[in-house]
């Protein structure tokens, strides 16, 4: 089956070519593992990307095409439209041209199915245009509700995305949803599946050979993801200087607060280690060397049910002791036991004081949750899930 995958994701190679270090690791890994699942199932996939690099340049950038080599060794062609790489102009320009770009793509790739990563303006307009032209069904992969996060420029982008939401829900033939609250919002008459994340095979292999947490004389607390106040990561800066005993903070990722973590790591390398952006294998090695991992309180709108932090499943499968703020439900994987933290620096320090004891007490709960995640949300599991949805008309 020929599948067009539309997403606002730029590969590491694409961003490196343009000097952009601000990788959005969660979205990148979710798209990568989705493509792994689709290609593993034997589908011919082309990805149309609406990504605009974070490094503004006053130039006209011509269309680019690259082969994204996946960890499996298979490759997917990615097409980046020509654009003006200045935010937010470039993104809005891409969105305004999305119908034309979609029609142009049909000259040499006519898909049997379309998968849209969220219902953002570009993804929606391109998907709906191709559906009208070819009749190809749309599968909507809902990772975030349009208004779940506030953005700059008067929140204009989420407002525009919200205008597309109802059109995409009506047009889509099937759905994946990142959590149970979102899944319950989607039409009961159409096929829909829960997909909070896809666990990479490499992470499972690395986890299987890791040392048991709390078996070394020192302790490590890890955070892997975007480094911004919106993600609640500033609390780690507040707590870093007061970590108890032999605890050390390990941070990987990029974002506005990266320089602050770099400064702390230079001033006190025995207490803070800053790893920057890591390639997949290095990321999984670092994650599986942590005793505990942390999920700060993200600053999102509403009741917090519009997103789900993909890193939680990775933390779980890595075998770490998870210290998390409240999370939306993801069904069969019961994570109530990890929601132990109020999001404050003082609360985090208190959790670290009792982490080893609680880790040992929760073994049964942790093993059950990790087993459920491994049985449902692997690349092979996602391949089977997508295959079911792709049959929807």
Read off the pLDDT of residues 119-158 as tens digits, 9 standing for 90 and up: 999 999 999 999 999 999 999 999 999 988 777 667 788 8
Residues 157 and 257 in one domain: no
CATH code for the domain in which residue 324 is found: 3.40.50.2000
Tell me whether residue 206 is in a domain.
yes
- Residue 258 dihedral angles phi and psi, to the nearest 5°: -55, -40
Give the per-residue pLDDT at 153.
64
Residues 122 and 161 in one domain: yes
**Residue at token pair 């703020």:** 325
Bridging pattern class, strands 75-80 and 44-49: parallel
Q: For 267-306, how does the pLDDT look when each residue is reduced to its tens digit (9 = 90+)?
A: 999 999 999 999 999 999 999 999 999 999 988 766 557 7
Tell me whether residue 85 is in a domain.
yes
Q: Lowest-confidence range among 51-60, 61-70, 357-366, 384-393?
A: 51-60
Residue 74 has pLDDT above 60, yes or no: yes
Residues 165 and 275 in one domain: no
Residues 245 and 147 in one domain: no
Residues 117 and 232 in one domain: no
Residues 149 and 268 in one domain: no
Bridging pattern class, strands 174-177 and 321-324: unpaired
Residue 315 has pLDDT above 90, yes or no: yes
Domain tally for the chain?
Answer: 2
Residue 182 has pLDDT above 60, yes or no: yes
* First-to-last C-alpha distance (Å) of the chain: 14
Tell me whether residue 183 is in a domain.
no
Closest by CA position to 323, among listed 307, 335, 308: 335
Closest by CA position to 255, among listed 285, 298, 292, 289: 298
> Among 127, 154, 172, where does a domain finish?
172
Mean pLDDT of 25-38: 92
Q: How far apart are CA 35 and CA 352, in angstroms?
A: 37
Q: How far apart are CA 327 and CA 285, in angstroms?
A: 25
Q: What pTM value is reported for the model?
A: 0.94
Closest by CA position to 296, among listed 361, 225, 198, 217: 225
Tell me whether residue 127 is in a domain.
yes
Tell me whether residue 270 is in a domain.
yes
- Residue 228 dihedral angles phi and psi, to the nearest 5°: -150, 160
Give the per-residue pLDDT at 301.
67
Residues 60 and 162 in one domain: yes
Residues 142 and 241 in one domain: no
- Residue 360 dihedral angles phi and psi, to the nearest 5°: -70, -35
Q: Which two tokens stand for residue 226?
A: 């975007």
Residues 360 and 263 in one domain: yes
Q: Which two tokens stand for residue 10?
A: 């730029």
Sheet holding 64-69, edge to edge: 64-69, 75-80, 44-49, 2-7, 113-117, 138-142, 174-177, 192-194
Tell me whether residue 290 is in a domain.
yes
Q: Is the dihedral of CA 304, 255, 290, 358 positive or negative?
A: negative
Domain of residue 338 covers 201-376
Q: What is the DSSP letter of 10?
A: -
Q: How far apart are CA 288 and CA 280, in angstroms?
A: 12
> Among 172, 189, 221, where does a domain finish?
172
Q: How far apart are CA 264 and CA 234, in angstroms?
A: 12
Residue 87 has pLDDT above 90, yes or no: no
Q: How confident is the model at residue 179 (pLDDT cuts 50, 70, 90)?
A: very high
Mean pLDDT of 203-211: 97
| Residue 319 CB burial class (10 angstroms; 0-12, 13-18, ≥19) | buried
Q: For 329-347, how does the pLDDT look when each residue is reduced to its tens digit (9 = 90+)?
A: 999 899 999 999 999 999 9
Give the per-residue pLDDT at 269.
94
Q: How far is CA 96 from CA 60, 123, 195, 265, in A?
A: 16, 11, 30, 43
Tell me whether residue 59 is in a domain.
yes
Residue 167 has pLDDT above 80, yes or no: yes
Closest by CA position to 390, among listed 113, 40, 45, 109: 113
- Say what percent of the chain tops pLDDT 70: 97
């Amino acid at each position: 089956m020929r599948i067009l995958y539309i997403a606002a994701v730029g590969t590491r190679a694409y961003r490196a070519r343009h000097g952009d270090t601000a990788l959005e690791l969660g979205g990148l890994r979710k798209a990568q593992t989705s493509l792994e699942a689709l290609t593993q199932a034997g589908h011919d996939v082309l990805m149309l990307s609406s990504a605009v690099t974070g490094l503004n340049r006053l130039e006209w950038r011509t269309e680019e095409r690259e082969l994204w080599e996946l960890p499996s060794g298979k490759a997917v062609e990615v097409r980046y439209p020509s654009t003006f790489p200045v935010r937010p102009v470039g993104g809005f320009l891409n969105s305004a041209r999305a119908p034309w770009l979609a029609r142009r793509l049909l000259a040499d790739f006519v898909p049997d199915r379309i998968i849209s990563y969220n219902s953002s303006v570009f993804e929606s307009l391109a998907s709906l245009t191709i559906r009208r032209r070819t009749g190809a069904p749309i599968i909507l992969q809902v990772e975030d509700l349009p208004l779940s996060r506030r953005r700059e420029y008067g929140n204009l982008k989420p407002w525009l995305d919200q205008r597309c939401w109802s059109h995409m829900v009506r047009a889509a033939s099937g759905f994946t949803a990142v959590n149970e609250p979102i899944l319950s919002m989607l039409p009961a008459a159409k096929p829909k599946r829960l997909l909070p994340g896809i666990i990479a095979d490499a992470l499972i292999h690395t986890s299987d050979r890791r040392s048991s947490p709390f078996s070394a004389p020192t302790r490590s607390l890890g955070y892997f993801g975007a480094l911004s106040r919106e993600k609640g990561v500033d609390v780690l800066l507040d707590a870093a200087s007061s970590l108890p005993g032999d605890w050390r903070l390990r941070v990987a990722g990029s974002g506005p607060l990266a320089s602050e973590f770099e400064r702390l790591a230079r001033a006190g390398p025995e207490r803070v280690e800053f790893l920057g952006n890591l390639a997949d294998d290095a990321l999984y090695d670092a994650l599986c060397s942590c005793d505990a991992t942390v999920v700060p309180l993200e600053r999102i709108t509403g009741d917090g049910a519009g997103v789900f932090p993909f890193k939680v499943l990775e933390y779980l499968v890595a075998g770490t002791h998870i210290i998390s703020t409240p999370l939306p439900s993801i069904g069969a994987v019961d994570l109530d036991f990890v929601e132990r933290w109020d999001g404050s620096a003082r609360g985090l320090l208190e959790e670290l004081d009792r982490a080893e004891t609680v880790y040992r007490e929760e073994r049964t709960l942790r093993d059950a949750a990790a087993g459920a995640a491994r049985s449902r949300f692997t690349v092979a599991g996602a391949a089977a899930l997508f295959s079911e949805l792709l049959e929807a008309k």
